[in-house]
Amino acid sequence: MSIDVGARLRRVRLIYGLSQRELARRAGVTNGLISLIEQNRVSPSVGSLKKVLDGVPMSLAEFFTINVDEAPQIFYGDDELVEIGSDDVSLRLVAAQRPARQLTILRERYAPGAATGDDALSHRGEEGGVVVRGRIELTVGGTTRVLGPGEAYYFSSTIPHRFRNVGREPCEIISASAPPTF
Amino acid sequence: MSIDVGARLRRVRLIYGLSQRELARRAGVTNGLISLIEQNRVSPSVGSLKKVLDGVPMSLAEFFTINVDEAPQIFYGDDELVEIGSDDVSLRLVAAQRPARQLTILRERYAPGAATGDDALSHRGEEGGVVVRGRIELTVGGTTRVLGPGEAYYFSSTIPHRFRNVGREPCEIISASAPPTF
DNA sequence: CTCTTGTGTCCATGATGCTAAACAGGTTGC
DNA sequence: GCAACCTGTTTAGCATCATGGACACAAGAG
């Protein structure tokens, strides 16, 4: 069938946490147009679609390339980590099946209530990590989940993300990112 | 600036050797529309562009992904072949600068008495060719034969081989080999 | 409760895409 | 010569897109 431009746009917009009006403002179009496109009530001109995507920003190539069906796995349960270590050195690999990984490991500790800031982070590369102690609220794109000890995450750093300790005890995470930003 | 949809479409269409009318017929649109799009006199709707590309066929993702700037060179003039041989054995390479070549095509010219060297050649892949002018003595493994114009050869490059011009006039061969060694 | 501010949807109208057909130029064959 | 057929371009008119604004609903603040 035809490409579901509407669903794609809606997904992209929500991943970046924008309302129709906010996206419209950034793109220099009307909110009504965003609404009509997302409902597939119109087939936007390439020019219009480009304007809209410039507000994200995202290229037309990216837009038509992203797979809306199978989103890459973001959250991993305790039992979804792959053990690649030995008896005395346990190495449990996150996103083992994800191709072309390049990781730098960090150890992060969050005080109760601490967060990575009011604005969401967004930068090059990919990052992932494991909660060792405490509980952390992680927002990636439009999805939010509270992770506890043993649970993990892995996502592309270009998707806006934010960490916040919602527990009463310190939270500890073993994380990795690439390419190194520090 | 904006994506040059017109140039992209024209390039795609010509790569596939279609006229505006033929593409229009396959796509179920009018030839006028193809013309207008290629001139960037309109910004086609995504739906229309998809219809057009279905006539190729090509996906929207492909369409926006292809690099329209660096069009691979198709035709090479005599002086556009890169010389990689020596004085008495001239090897002129086709599409030398093209990245990720799968094939090495050479126009070889042997001066009278010239040879590829005292030791026999041996490398990966397969190679073959046709003698265009003169006579060449080709030794492959234990077999030797003299080939004249119109005659050809094909063998696995791992078998030791050697070329030698046994005639009194220059010998010219068009050869091909894969994977590329240059 | 009202008022404000956010969300997404709907509608009339002007802007633009798209079609059908005519047009102009080039090549082939009679 | 000209007729037939190809090529890409242009144009009038109709269909569709895109806008600006109204509308309905929900969540908070006072």
Residues A21 and A109 in one domain: no
Q: What is the pLDDT of residue B37?
A: 92
For A1, counting Cβ atoms within 10 Å of its Cβ (0-12 exposed, 13-18 middle, 19+ buried), the class is: exposed
Distance in Å from C2's C1' to B60's CA comes to 51
Has residue A70 been placed in a domain? no
Tens digits of residue pLDDT in B42-75: 999 988 999 998 888 888 888 887 754 444 434 4
Q: Is residue B143 part of a domain?
A: yes
Is the Cβ pair B45, A47 closer than 8 Å?
A: no
Q: How far is the CA of B6 from the C1' of D14 (A)?
A: 24
- Chain A residue closest in CA terms to B66: A61
Q: Following CA atoms A40, A41, A45, A51 in sequence, which dihedral angle do they give, to the nearest 10 degrees?
A: -70
Measured between beta carbons, which residues in chain A are less than 8 angstroms from residue B45?
42-46
Is A58 domain-assigned?
yes
- Domain identity same for A94 and A151: yes
User: Both A101 and A55 in a single domain?
Assistant: no
Model confidence band, residue B141 (pLDDT cutoffs 50, 70, 90): low
CATH code, domain carrying A33: 1.10.260.40
Answer yes or no: is B71 within a domain.
no
B9 and B92 share one domain: no
CA A139, CA B78: separation in Å to the nearest integer?
A: 61
Say whether A45 and B50 touch across the interface (CB within 8 A). no
pLDDT higher than 70, residue B98: no
> How distant is C1' of D15 from CA of B31, in Å?
18
Residue B41, CA: closest nucleotide via C1'?
A: C17
Q: Domain range for residue A150?
A: 75-178
Tell me which residue of A157, A124, A166, A159 sits closest to A143, measured CA to CA: A159
Q: How far apart are CA B123 and CA A62, in angstroms?
A: 41
Q: What is the pLDDT of residue A151?
A: 63
Give the span between the Cα atoms of B116 and B161, in whole angstroms: 9
Q: How far apart are CA B59 and CA A66, in angstroms?
A: 13
C1' nearest to CA of A30: which nucleotide?
D19
Residues in chain B with CB shorter than 8 Å from the CB of A49 are: 46
User: Are B92 and B32 in the same domain?
Assistant: no
Distance of residue B44 Cα from the nearest chain A Cα, in angstroms = 5
Determine the distance between B55 (CA) and D10 (C1') in angstroms: 24
Q: What percent of chain B has pLDDT over 90?
A: 6
Asked whether residue B166 falls in the same domain as residue B94, the answer is yes
Boundary-marking domain end, from A45, A65, A85: A65
pLDDT at B44: 93
Same domain, A109 and A41: no
Is residue B168 a contact partner of residue B112, using CB atoms and an 8 Å limit? yes
B121 shares a domain with B90: yes
Number of compact structural domains in chain A? 2
pLDDT mean for each 10 residues of chain A (182 residues): 80 78 88 90 90 85 68 45 41 45 54 63 59 71 67 64 76 58 44
Q: Do B48 and A50 lie within an 8 Å CB cutoff?
A: no
Nucleotides of C under 7 A from a protein CB: 6-11, 16-22
Output the six-digit token pair for B135.
Answer: 């006579």
Whole-angstrom Cα Rg for chain B: 23
